[in-house]
Homo-oligomer: A and B are copies of this chain.
Amino acid sequence: MLSKKTKYGLKALTYLASQKDKKPVQIMEIAEHENISQKFLESILLTLRKTGFLGSKKGKGGGYYLIKDASDIPIMTVMRVLEGPIAMISCVSLNFYEKCDDCPDEVSCSVHKLMIQVRDSTLDVYKKNTLADLIPKS
């Protein structure tokens, strides 16, 4: 399951990406527009700032804004930050690898074989989509 953290983070990012100018947008505005708990969203945006996706400005007229162009942000990078591993099981994870403690041999493991395929196909989707691709047309 996709966590709400990721879901809300993606929605916030696309909302920022759909802004005409690059003026800071306040947490409250995003939260209201996307129906997200303001405090929860706050912590998500903080993560996105610390990981280099967003810039922020404090005080009146402050808020969050995209640092890079939306078309330069592959969804893959966002997913890794918000959701963590893309693989469904850590023994096939590229960035968060861990050996299964119950599995004596990965090469002959049926689950391993299957999950590598799932990882690769999912990764393809996350690579070919940028934030710009997710902005609604209207």
Contact check: which of B36, B110, B118 meets A125 at CB < 8 Å? B118
Judged by DSSP, the binding face of A is helix
- Check B129–A89 contact: CB distance below 8 A: no
Write out, one digit per residue, whether chain A residues 96-138 have a CB within 8 A of any chain B CB (1) or not (0). 0000001110011111011101100110111001000111101
Please report the total number of A residues contacting B with Cβ < 8 Å.
36
Nearest 5 CB-CB pairings of A with B: A110-B134, A108-B136, A14-B110, A35-B102, A121-B121
Residues of A whose CB lies within 8 Å of any CB of B are 1-2, 7, 10-11, 14, 34-36, 75, 88-89, 102-104, 107-111, 113-115, 117-118, 121-122, 124-126, 129, 133-136, 138
